Amino acid sequence: MTHDPYPLKEWNPDWEIDLGAERLIAAEKGNEKIAVEIKSFRALSFAYEFHTAIGQYFNYRVSLKDIEHDRVLYMAVPSSKWETEFARAGIIASIKAMNAKVIVYNTETKKIEQWITYNQK
């Protein structure tokens, strides 16, 4: 981990992404610099929280492109929500349209279960 949190002061003094890190992709590719916005989705209204999360993701991605273009933004989502709420067609369509990158993590084992990348043309 390189930043906890990752500040976006140049873009907006009040914005911070939860984590900045470097993830090993493959030995021959080297390290990929990433930033991770961690979401729990515990609010009563999943729809409201999802809309907020997507808005944050978009704003943070735009700011990273301007500030540090080689850092890739991921949204971290609990596996329990990924398997239920995120399985809905409208949610997946929104994530795909955003070309979002998602980390699915297990809240009990505290381990990453999936790295998901959507690249829509």
**Average pLDDT value for residue range 99-108:** 93
The sign of the dihedral angle between the CA atoms of 60, 69, 111, 86 is: positive
Q: At 118, which amino acid appears?
A: Y
Instruction: Tell me the pTM.
Output: 0.80
The residues spanned by each domain of the chain are 6-70+82-99
Taking the C-alpha atoms of 3, 64, 34 and 118 in order, what is their torsion angle to the nearest 10 degrees?
A: 150
pLDDT digit string (tens) for 42-74?
A: 888 999 999 999 999 998 899 889 888 888 899
pLDDT digit string (tens) for 88-101?
A: 999 999 999 999 99
Q: Identify any residues that bridge with 6 across adjacent strands, giving them in sequence order.
A: 17
